[in-house]
Chain A
Amino acid sequence: MLNKSIAELNHALHTKKISSVELTQFFLGRIKQFDTELNSFITVTEEQALQAAARADAQLAQGTAGPLAGIPIAQKDIFCTQGVKTSCGSKMLDNFIAPYDATVVKRFNAAGMVMLGKTNMDEFAMGSSNENSYYGPVKNPWHLGYVPGGSSGGSAAAVAAQLTPAATGTDTGGSIRQPAALCGISGIKPTYGRVSRYGMIAFASSLDQGGLFAKTAEDLAWLLNVMAGFDENDSTSVAHDVPDYTLTLNDSLKGLRIGLPKEFFNPSLDKEIANAIQAAIKEYEKLGATFHEISLPNTALSIPAYYVIAPAECSSNLARFDGVRYGHRCKNPHDLEDLYKRSRSEGFGKEVVRRIMIGTYALSTGYYDAYYIKAQKIRRLVRQDFDDAFKKVDVILGPTTPTPAFKLGEKTSDPLSMYLSDIYTIAVNLAGLPGISVPVGFIQGLPIGMQLIGHSFKEARLLNTAHVYQKATDWHTKKPEGF
């Protein structure tokens, strides 16, 4: 049951070689065995998982099961799951049992998938190392002294250590692609609006997008078929046809025009990462793709723009956590202001407080034009850069991160250096484009990733580009030792 693709698991389930209950028990067993060390799950829903698996087995027996029925998946703890604690990695929601399912959760449940539990994450998805979780840091399965990346660090580590075949994530500035790269797995952030945000606890609404982790691009295609689609409960979701992403996976890359942004290949890029990317480029050339230098001139402005827009939206989105209706409430408040101040100070961690403060400041009278409006202008320029580039190329290729995983604790006291680890991913969120990260090599035993960026709603093209590469290479088949 280990090292199997989703297509293979599906085949085994449909041909009754294994049952979903067996499969689920197998992964629950691995979680028990390894997760005390990794800390990738906040909640394991063993009982519900076994019930769901039994239901899937019944469907499989009746022949009414879909292609994902019976296959386990882990949900990032940012997605609301009815009757199950949904903490968002925060003390604020440590006591919060969601009263409803997020649309994404509903879709996977309806497909017969089996939720194993809720994965660890940076508090409210704010972080790049998973060290901002109220539930403690997640460890990188490739080296337990290193971070898995963030904010979806729990999902990435769980998939890398094969505690689950697949997991959901969310990506506001790189929170899927960066941990996928640092954990040596595949991760996709779809186009903004492709996946419903309903029931996904908001960090920065105009940037947040749900997505997926799996071992391969092929697995991602199977999962995205279920996850993507319009949702009438989310006004920003787009009523755009969802193709069957598995049908185009093997399309030839002959004539594919791949753009290399010169701004991504600058001296601050780790030399070994640059070499790994060069090797991938050679591979693509063999597969018939052509390469073109392009320019994304406003890349450097992405980080400052992002760190105005995301905190601004977060300062407003997180105002609802006030200790009044749910979540953490301080003991014995003596008046309303005391209730607000103490509940919020006690409930939120340092990074969340920092971003709320930055955002509140950026939206204040007298600063709004200088910060928020200016950041929105930069955002339009960033989007324009991509639009111009996609007139010349089909896909943009570059590194996912400037360095491999760093040590636990290495950057916790230096938020700015932490923010810079998202330099290649943030612009994609500002532009609302789809991006995917796939493994392209190792540096001293730590995996590194390649990012492919597509134009809006071109996820099929991205998955195809990644899959054909994975068929020709074996980086994605490497597994961390000891799991």
Chain B
Amino acid sequence: MEWETVIGLEVHVQLATQSKIFSGASTAFGAEPNTQACAIDLGFPGVLPVLNAEVVTMAIKLGLGIQAEIAKQSVFARKNYFYPDLPKGYQISQHTIPIVKGGHLDISLEDGSTKRIRITRAHLEEDAGKSLHEDFHGMSGIDLNRAGTPLLEIVSEPDIRSAKEAVAYLKNLHSLVRYLGICDGNMQEGSFRCDANVSIRPQGDLHFGTRTELKNINSFRYVERAIQYEVERQIALVESGGKVKQETRLFDPAKNETRAMRSKEEADDYRYFPDPDLLPVRITEKQIEEIRQHLPELPQQKHQRFMEQYGLNTYDATVLVSSGALADYFEAAVIASGNQTKLTANWVTGELSAALNKFDMEITQSPVIATELGKLVLRIADNTISGKIAKTIFESLWNQQGTVDDIIEKQGLKQVTDSAAIEALVDKILAANPDQVADYRSGKDKLFGFFVGQAMKESGGKINPQQLNELLKKKLQ
């Protein structure tokens, strides 16, 4: 039987505020345990929450970024359950009336088409602390630094049909929240976390199958692997006559499998009710308009513009707009390159990205600045250097050995375009290799590369390759 995968994603975006959602304590990551939790975060008797206005602005930005409806009035509720890292015994979260309703995000599919993923809602809530089960000899440690950190939970409709689509959606959302400046996007520190609801159904069936929820998958790669594994598990289970159980499952990247965590059949009753300590969040049209006016160009608009303005294909445009800083880098490099758009895109997405990945660096940390990379492209385009030499120069730039022109000058890397000089070199090589010349002429076409290699070696790669090819062909006839 043909199976269809149905996926809905819940993404927890940690909002990049200085202080917590309901207290003045700092949200900075990595402090000593329990040093960034005030009486409010610790749930002391008598304390009260006061909403950080910044989180409302950030939620509105997200809402505008996904063309959603911003609720004029939204309500915080209490989600009641006991856990040691939940200090008040309830989490303050928006339940029946979230701040953002509806909206959508478009993703590019592998066949080049675009698919719209609908978004159900996005709501504000506070994070819990962390329980640490190791190192305490039969006891658990609690770190409440994270308690009260603002989160925006973004819930998609079950419109996603494959692990690849899920990753595309997540990457777009990740890029969007960073463009909007509402999240630092650091997945390792948990600033962008994803839960996936996964089910299967026979192709063409209109009813949804029983879903499992995969918890806390903290990298794009894991999302893809976790969903793939889970889909295969469900198919194998159903095909062997079993039934999928509604449950929460945890992905284990080491074993590449998902494991049942707790069953949803004995579902917790969270006893939600409106939090009487907080007034409804009221938002005016004027407030929304003001935020709209200051919104930066968003990834999808930029993607569109890059394709139109620079004539890029959808793949290059997608990679380049994946972060605002990368897109800015590209645009600065294009100017310096004398508008060599395609070649600049190749260098940014190719050589530069590879180097950054290798050293695990962000584009903002690149030792090669945008104008120099652009200049390098310009020197290729105006035939000062060959593409091959350019790679050498790039390495020198990376190691901060000067500007492009300095390096060309100092290392004498300027391309040889003087026909007479090239001819002399070709003659010298042919003369030095009479056997190979004879073999070539008797039909061993493959030896052409040998002569090119010899010439390049002799010249240190500086000969203009096109001119060399033409001359060699002529002389070898």
Could you list which residues of chain A lie within 8 angstroms of chain B, going by C-beta atoms?
Answer: 79-80, 86, 88, 93, 96, 98-100, 102, 197-202, 204-206, 232-236, 312-313, 315-316, 318-322, 324-326, 336, 340, 360, 363-365, 368, 372
Contact = CB atoms under 8 A, between A and B. Distances in A.
B89 A319 contact: yes
A235 B22 CA distance: 10
B365 to A, nearest CB: 40
A325 B46 CA distance: 14
Interface in B66-105: 78, 80, 82, 84, 87-90
Contacts of A99: 39, 44
Given A202-B46, A235-B51, A326-B44, A363 B276 contact: no
B39 A100 contact: yes
Contacts of A320: 43, 45, 87-89
A396 B45 CA distance: 35
Query: Nearest 3 pairs between A and B by C-beta?
Result: A319-B89, A363-B271, A206-B276
B260 interface: no
Contacts of B278: 235-236
Contacts of A233: 48, 50
Contacts of B90: 316, 319
Contacts of A199: 46-47
Interface string B230-269: 0000000000000000000000000000000000000001
Contacts of A324: 84, 87, 142
B28 interface: no
A202 B89 CA distance: 14
Interface of B: 39, 42-51, 78, 80, 82, 84, 87-90, 142, 269, 271-273, 276-279
B89 A236 contact: no
A102 B46 contact: yes
Contacts of B80: 315-316, 319, 363
A79 B46 CA distance: 8
Given A235-B279, A363-B273, A319 B88 contact: yes
B39 A312 contact: no
A172 B342 CA distance: 71
Nearest to B78: A316
B48 A80 contact: no
Given A236-B279, A360-B271, A368-B273, A325 B87 contact: yes
A316 B39 contact: no
A322 B276 contact: no
A235 B21 CA distance: 13
28 contacts: A80-B45, A86-B46, A99-B39, A99-B44, A102-B46, A198-B48, A201-B45, A202-B45, A204-B276, A233-B50, A234-B48, A234-B50, A235-B277, A235-B278, A236-B277, A312-B273, A313-B276, A316-B271, A319-B89, A319-B90, A320-B88, A322-B89, A324-B142, A326-B44, A363-B271, A364-B271, A368-B271, A372-B273
Contacts of B47: 198-199
Contacts of A372: 273
Given A98-B44, A315-B80, A324-B87, 5 more contacts: A80-B45, A96-B45, A98-B46, A205-B277, A321-B45
B78 A235 contact: no
A340 to B, nearest CB: 6
Q: Which of B84, B272, B276 has the most CB of A within 10 A?
A: B276
A235 B53 CA distance: 12
A206 to B, nearest CB: 4
| Chain A interface SS verdict (over half) | loop
Given A88-B45, A100-B39, A336 B269 contact: no
Given A198-B48, A202-B46, A319 B276 contact: no
Contacts of B277: 202, 205, 235-236
Contacts of A319: 80, 82, 88-90
Contacts of B269: 364-365
B41 to A, nearest CB: 11
Contacts of B272: 363, 368
Nearest to A313: B276
A35 to B, nearest CB: 25
A252 to B, nearest CB: 38
Nearest to A93: B45
Nearest to A312: B273
A100 B272 CA distance: 30
Contacts of B276: 204-206, 236, 313
Contact of B49 (A93, A96, A235): A235
Contacts of B142: 324
Given A320-B88, A322-B89, A80 B46 contact: yes
A322 B261 CA distance: 24
Given A312-B273, A320-B89, A340-B82, A198 B45 contact: no
Contacts of B46: 79-80, 86, 98, 102, 198-202
Contacts of A201: 45-46
A322 B82 contact: yes
B45 A325 contact: no
A296 to B, nearest CB: 23
Q: Which of B46, B88, B89, B273 has the most CB of A within 10 A?
A: B46
A234 B278 CA distance: 9
A313 B275 CA distance: 9
Contacts of B271: 315-316, 360, 363-365, 368
A329 B90 CA distance: 20
A80 B46 CA distance: 7
Q: Which of B43, B47, B78, B273 has the most CB of A within 10 A?
A: B273
A360 B88 CA distance: 15
B444 to A, nearest CB: 79
B50 A235 contact: yes
Contacts of A336: 84
A236 to B, nearest CB: 7
Nearest to A359: B271
Contacts of B50: 232-235
Contacts of B43: 320, 325
Contacts of B84: 322, 324, 336
Q: Which of B47, B50, B51, B80 has the most CB of A within 10 A?
A: B47
Contacts of B48: 197-198, 233-236
Contacts of B273: 312-313, 316, 363, 368, 372
B274 to A, nearest CB: 9
Q: Which of B44, B84, B88, B278 has the most CB of A within 10 A?
A: B44
Nearest to B142: A324
Nearest to A199: B46
A321 B45 CA distance: 8
Nearest to A90: B45
A141 B240 CA distance: 79
B13 to A, nearest CB: 24
Nearest to A96: B45
A120 B43 CA distance: 24
B87 A86 contact: no
A235 B47 CA distance: 11
Contacts of B87: 320, 324-325
Q: Which of B45, B49, B80, B84 has the most CB of A within 10 A?
A: B45
Contacts of A96: 45
Contacts of A200: 46
A319 B276 CA distance: 15
B92 to A, nearest CB: 11
A444 B84 CA distance: 53
Q: Which of A200, A201, A235 has the most CB of B within 10 A?
A: A235
A206 B48 CA distance: 12
A239 to B, nearest CB: 12
